[in-house]
Chain A
């Protein structure tokens, strides 16, 4: 004989009644703002980023060693998807993010325009090149990242010297690049390249006609080149150096025409629920420890006096391709749309 809890019917009935309200057990705990005493920093910090999963996790862990009371919740996706998410949250009435670390300054310019950021001038700013931080203190670069040419050494014996290789027979159907609909770096590159003399949309069209594949993010581009699926990739430099160090058959080239660089800026949301922790986080990322960590992970740091990891150029050694920030910001969406039309993505 089996006995079943007599409460089952009642709970079933209750479930039916509750059902009209559809269970609120899942309410995520509301973030509390800083503990109030100001001295110790604690509470939940919502960190939205486009960094690779592993790097974001390491950064949060290192921050936690210094501030063990803060619970960092990470949301990670491509820059363009993170900003879309922010827009959706804004429409839903509440932006969940406290701190943002996304690919490029253009993204932050547009957020600044929409009045979604708050100014914060970190005490660490003195050690950061002024031109790589927003004069109003809305965002600050955290590292230097060039987009370079990656090649698979098993497929390509002599490293190319120019971006033009992507339009040549050598790279026919073997090139791959990240999508500007997902990757902020890619969106920035498209913006810069399409406005650079000698490149323009014609160059992109030629690249497309040469059979360039478009994949979601830089990580996926790296994977395709490392595995030999593709021979040439347009990808952010640190990934190539890191993969090469792991033993993958890849090589990186800084093309002679120059490279677009992004700075992965960090900024605090206007409606941040935990400003104290957010500011501590920004300070940490820009501090000597934070920058050393970045270099360890394999990024070119932005802070003066910390050298770039092996295999990467530092900012002074690069020839930089850049564009007009205001223009790039205004035309980001139409650039993406143009890209869709051209690449039929």
Chain B
């Protein structure tokens, strides 16, 4: 699943004490009510699941034990999996770093054309759910795909390499995550003062040496942070190795945990828990490292990004722009088109001729299989409710966090970031363990229904809303609220007339992000769904597992259309937001 890591949104808090808190907040502040409700809720939702998971991995009938870990160490399969995980994570991180840096450098420093359009095109790779991107590539390169046909045409003996391999996983993961590196490094590049580079050039260094000695060292913290972010995303990713690795016996940690749990049931919970502890630890360490790096690299925050091109490409401008565009088209648009063409086939294994074209697969998934409809409805309801709950609770918390920083809220924020920092599969397993029997002997009947998905989604994505909310509230100086208060506006009026109009676009951006993430979620749902609560991602995954590629590609093609619509809305809000930002001060009330 695509992840926009909370750590990529760096936030600093001003520790000023504003005494203009709205009344209810003041009543809550330090208030017993908030803590009485808040602390147990935070503990139950964010801390307890992880504690239970860790506990289970050390637990046996005979008390505390390392037996589960010992069992792992003796399994050849575990070591093979570990090796694959390291290879996949390192390989895809390297690829993402390379692509992300190259694109960021061109967009930040050169005068290539259509930068405004290039930006969303780069993000597209990341916005598409990983399993959709995977299906696109496997149908593009597969024996029925366009590449294969091209090669056949050149020479009947030629066949494309298989996407169902280590290389395939690394490649798709690399292109899926490179926009993360791009987003982080773009700003870093723009903030490097150009006078330093000029000085180096004036001192007689060549272009390349200047880059190596000036630009690269200054960009390094940003690059490392980007690398770590991709590292975390790769550890977390389940869709790509599940679609491309499982069919050919390549497991990574996330898919191994999944296989254990769905293949063996409760008897594998302890094994799954110990695997999860290992995977979770790696993710938490990565997050900590990243957080420390970002704190260190806050220094140049005062520097204004400088987006004036520094290098003119001259006569190369057109070819370079064309090359970048061609590459972007090749990694998304072309495979997606190939997937769509596959979804129009009558039977798998037939050539692509007019007589073999049909809309039957679409008819089947839309009209003949009620379960697909159920899954679309489920996903829509899930993402809508998750968005609304996160919008309300996340934004309110963000407000408290900004206006009234305290150790309590800080701790709560850290707790809320846990479900997102942990790889999805680990988080899902911890949810099963908690909600199956929260208290021994008591089964609330949440596991196996939609409820557990609601809880899981909200817990996992709340932090995204909190971070965007914090950023939105930070941009509004407390004096504005104060002015409204002094002018006699009551709390309701202060919110409706002053605060909300200013922060709503920012909050909605977060909300839409949560919505999109929930809509296409696969990892958590794959472990938690039951009959009647399947989601879109799970349905595509099930089709693919059962060999119904024609249906999985058809449904994926529909998702691409849905996401396109969602992305368009997001861009509109961004536009509206930037207009608001410009005219923010001349608002008339």
Contact = CB atoms under 8 A, between A and B. Distances in A.
Instruction: Identify which of A28, A80, A249, A344 gathers the most chain B CB atoms within 10 Å of its CB.
Output: A28
Interface string A27-43: 11000000000000000
Given A20-B41, A215-B247, A344 B547 contact: no
Contact of A81 (B262, B385, B492): B262
Contact of B547 (A8, A57, A223): A223
Contact of B392 (A15, A28, A57): A15
B240 interface: no
A92 B262 contact: no
B530 interface: yes
Interface in B351-384: 364, 368-371, 381-382
Interface residues of B, number: 84
A227 to B, nearest CB: 5
Given A53-B551, A88-B436, A226-B349, A181 B263 contact: yes
Given A16-B396, A25-B385, A57-B371, A87 B267 contact: yes
A226 to B, nearest CB: 4
Interface stretch (B102-110, B316-324, B331-339, B447-455): B447-455
Nearest to A223: B547
B431 to A, nearest CB: 11
Interface in A1-46: 1-4, 6, 8-9, 11-20, 22-28, 46
A216 B247 contact: yes
B530 A1 contact: no
Contact of B453 (A6, A20, A26, A52): A26
A343 B249 contact: yes
Interface string A322-345: 000000000000000000110111
Contacts of A226: 347-349
A96 B80 contact: no
Task: Choose among A22, A25, A48, A220 the residue with the greatest number of B CB atoms under 10 Å from its CB.
Answer: A22
A209 interface: no
B542 A77 contact: yes
**Chain A interface extent, by class:** 35 or more
Contacts of A3: 496
Interface string B22-46: 0010000000000001101100010
A53 B371 contact: yes
Contacts of A77: 262, 542, 545
A15 B396 contact: yes
A23 B381 CA distance: 13
Contacts of B381: 26
B487 to A, nearest CB: 16
Contacts of B548: 52-54, 219
Contact of B396 (A13, A214, A215, A219): A13
A75 B144 contact: no
B217 interface: no
Interface stretch (A127-135, A240-248, A253-261, A304-312): A240-248
Interface string A196-210: 000000000000000
B454 A23 contact: yes
A332 B264 CA distance: 12
Contacts of A85: 262, 265, 530
Contact of B261 (A2, A84, A222, A343): A84
Given A26-B454, A215-B248, A217-B547, A57 B396 contact: no
Contacts of B41: 19-20, 22
B454 A25 contact: yes
Contacts of A220: 247, 545-547
Given A6-B492, A57-B371, A84-B262, A22 B395 contact: no
A96 B259 contact: no
A294 to B, nearest CB: 18
A20 B40 contact: yes
Interface string A50-94: 001110010000000000000001111110110111111111111
Given A84-B265, A92-B443, A74 B531 contact: yes
A271 interface: no
Contacts of B545: 77-78, 182, 216-217, 219-220
A214 B143 contact: no
B495 interface: yes
Contacts of B348: 223, 226-227, 248
Contacts of A83: 265
Contact of B443 (A73, A80, A93, A223): A93
B265 A28 contact: no
Interface string A217-237: 111111100111100000000
From B24, B381, B500, B532, residue with most partner A Cβ within 10 Å: B532
A213 interface: yes
B252 to A, nearest CB: 14
Nearest to B449: A28
For B265, B449, B533, B588, the residue with the greatest tally of chain A CB atoms inside 10 Å of its CB is: B265
A84 B263 contact: yes
Contact of B249 (A47, A182, A213): A213
Contact of A22 (B45, B264, B382): B45
A96 B530 contact: yes
Contacts of A46: 531-532
B350 interface: yes
Contacts of B347: 226, 243, 246-248
B523 interface: no
Contacts of B389: 15, 18-19, 23
Nearest to A213: B248
Interface centre among B76, B385, B449, B549 (most CB of A within 10 A): B449
Nearest to A216: B545
Interface string B425-452: 0000000100111000001010111110
12 contacts: A15-B389, A28-B533, A52-B548, A53-B548, A74-B531, A75-B532, A92-B447, A93-B436, A220-B547, A226-B349, A248-B350, A344-B76
**What are the 9 A-B residue pairs with the smallest beta carbon separation, nearest first?**
A93-B443, A219-B547, A75-B531, A84-B265, A15-B392, A87-B265, A20-B41, A26-B450, A26-B454
Given A19-B458, A89-B530, 12 more contacts: A8-B500, A16-B393, A23-B385, A28-B533, A53-B551, A75-B531, A76-B546, A78-B545, A91-B437, A215-B248, A229-B143, A248-B349
